[in-house]
Structure 1
């Protein structure tokens, strides 16, 4: 079994758009700020910025040749000088969750991109909070955490150095 992070090209834009709608659907369980659009999908308002701004790096996550999800990494110059990276969004299709795939993918990412990271989760998104605590434990990552309101949502912000 090969686990890989593959940068998404502009030609694969539709794949990411499809996966993003699924991700936002899952996230809508934890916030009132997401609604389905009139065409029946969840839409990311700033989606086109991924292709227009430097520092927004999308990756397809694969197990062998099969797409299992995506990761959106924020990098400089998009971020302030305080951080090198932020894992903005990470999504794994339900049938591939809890199989260690994401831990392997994140280990690969952290091996390739060393620096200071931050991760933000909705406090109400208990599965995401538990997921990240599990990642830190399994990868022996020491992190700092604080609560902060972001866009009228109570969030946890975790920072760590790789």
Structure 2
């Protein structure tokens, strides 16, 4: 099973919107900042900006020709500080979790875009925290880690170079 990353085209926005709703539903287990809308969907209001602002780069995670998730990569010129890249969001469908596919996607991203990274997880999202620790250990990446309060939510933030 080979994983690849495919840049999300603006014409595929509705597909990404559907995946983002699933992602936000999952994330709502760990934060009080997310609620379902009256129409029964979790909305990400900033989605349109992905194609309006340079440096907000969404990628589908593909398995063969099937979309199984996405990564939202922050890069320059959106990022102006010491990091070249930030992984803001990573989501993979439940059916594909635990098979090493998300790790393959991250490895592919790091191979394609080496540089200084940061990654953030909500502290309460123990599965995400464990996933990223597994990635760092498996790829022999040394990180600097800190906690920060963002929008009244406690986050773990790791910085590292690949």
Alignment TM class, shorter chain as reference: over 0.9
Query: Is the counterpart of residue 98 in structure 1 residue 90 in structure 2?
Result: no
Give the unaligned 5+ runs of structure 2.
none
Query: Is the counterpart of residue 83 in structure 1 residue 83 in structure 2?
Result: yes
Q: Distance in 1 between matches of 2:133 and 2:116?
A: 17
Map 1:141-156; keep pairs closer than 5 Å: 141-156=141-156
Question: Cα RMSD (Å) of the superposition?
Answer: 0.7
Q: What do the CA deviations read for 1:32-75 (whole angstroms, capped 9, x no partner)?
A: 00000111000112111111100000001011111110000000
Provide the aligned length of Structure 1 versus Structure 2: 162
Q: Distance in 1 between matches of 2:122 and 2:3?
A: 27
How far residue 103 of structure 1 moved from its aligned partner, in angstroms, is 1.1
Q: Distance in 1 between matches of 2:63 and 2:139?
A: 20
How far residue 135 of structure 1 moved from its aligned partner, in angstroms, is 0.6
How far residue 81 of structure 1 moved from its aligned partner, in angstroms, is 2.9
TM-score, normalised with respect to structure 1: 0.98
Give the unaligned 5+ runs of structure 1.
none
Question: What secondary structure, in the 3-state scheme, does the structure 2 residue paired with 1:133 have?
Answer: helix
Partner residue in 2 for 1:26: 26
How far residue 2 of structure 1 moved from its aligned partner, in angstroms, is 2.2
Question: What secondary structure, in the 3-state scheme, does the structure 2 residue paired with 1:58 have?
Answer: strand
Q: Distance in 2 between matches of 1:65 and 1:2?
A: 10
Partner residue in 1 for 2:10: 10
Q: Distance in 2 between matches of 1:108 and 1:143?
A: 19
Question: What secondary structure, in the 3-state scheme, does the structure 2 residue paired with 1:30 have?
Answer: coil
Q: Which runs of 4+ in 1 moved over 3 A?
A: none
Partner residue in 1 for 2:37: 37
How far residue 115 of structure 1 moved from its aligned partner, in angstroms, is 0.6
